[in-house]
Amino acid sequence: MVNTFETYEKAFAQQNLSYFNGNVEGILWLKLRAIARRKQLVTFMKQMGLVAASKTIKKQTIELFYSLSTDVNKANLVLDVFLRNVENELYAELNINTEQLKEDLYNVRDYHWGGDYNNSLDRYLIKSYVKGLPSFQKLLEQKEDIAENAWHYVKNSWYNHWTSYLIESIFKKHDRVVSAVGAIRSVDFFVDDCPIDLKVTYFPKVYMDLKFRECTGSNEIAWLKQKAKEREFRIPQRMDSATLEYYLREKFAESGVKDVLDELRGIKEKILNKTIAAPEELMLWLYVNQGEMRFGAENRLFLILIDLDDFTQSWKLKRAFDMLTPKINSYLSSFAVEQLSEISFTHQGRMYTSLSDSLFVLK
């Protein structure tokens, strides 16, 4: 079968991204997709000495694809040079002061989300303050809470956005990496012509709970409650699970019951070590349990940040660039496409296959 521009466009739209793996012409299509905006496209064609007959960006991109397809390998190399040029980055026009931005990140002192971070802010506000309040007077009484929720949501979203930008920048500065300039969904950059979507995340609490139960026969809160009963600690009855878990851990620490906390840490470290040694099950879990709105079947590199002393503080590692940089560069220097795991999973009755890897950074 002869591949056409439309062939690749259809595969991309259907999240059939495995179609591009090891396909030099498909990689060319992705790289062109990454510059398919007027400024970048015009600049690239000017550098190549090309003039498009078409007027629209879409048709110009199609023209360019067929023109470059006559020598795919050469075209990929030329696009690599263009994509590596920082002036072609979407963020270049913002004139970002990187060092100041890194310092500004420390103004975020807590990671308390406003509303439900799994959904959009507007959905949370509608659910909590519109459909749930049939009284305007009661709505007025919630004015400060609404403002606070919105602020926490925006603050955390700001933190996540710019730490992700700076972490991606570490990858994109490496010699083996070619940036996708931030405009193409499903690809952040190419490593040795392998398209990669970077996911910066933490060790999932739900996954830890699942493995904790497999190890101990109960979840963490039940395990802590049992340890508290054995030591005749009072267990409050009107606390939600998260608060009770925090309360019991703090009480064990205050009372000097070090053996319980050491045992708890030991169980979690055992789970972590086993996962790091064989991460395929976790990567499959991450694909299967991604949010519906964020669904994707792209090749993914999971950068997983873990604070062993307190998992809830792992968010701080997103700004620990002195720790992250050598870990990332070491990973990229030894990267091989062959080391990626093939992950197959089902979504809405359809099977997908992706290449994936994980890089764990532990404090």
Q: What are 172-186's pLDDT values in tens digits?
A: 999 999 998 756 788
Q: 219-262, pLDDT tens digit by residue?
A: 999 999 999 898 888 888 888 888 888 888 888 888 888 888 89
Mean pLDDT in the chain? 90
Q: 322-338, pLDDT tens digit by residue?
A: 999 999 999 999 999 99
- Average pLDDT, integer, range 268-272: 94
Give the separation between CA 27 and CA 190, rounded to whole angstroms: 9
- Average pLDDT, integer, range 103-118: 83
- Average pLDDT, integer, range 6-20: 93
Single pTM value for the model:
0.89
Give the separation between CA 336 and CA 357, rounded to whole angstroms: 11
What Å distances lie between residue 203 and 249, 269, 276, 302, CA to CA?
19, 12, 11, 10
Contact 76, 193 (CB under 8 A): yes
Per-residue model confidence (pLDDT) at position 118: 60
Per-residue model confidence (pLDDT) at position 92: 67
Question: Tokens 């590692």 appear where?
Answer: 317
What Å distances lie between residue 301 and 47, 171, 240, 273, CA to CA?
33, 11, 35, 19
Q: 62-93, pLDDT tens digit by residue?
A: 999 999 999 999 999 999 999 988 666 766 66
113 Cβ partners below 8 Å, 6+ apart? Answer: 152, 153, 156
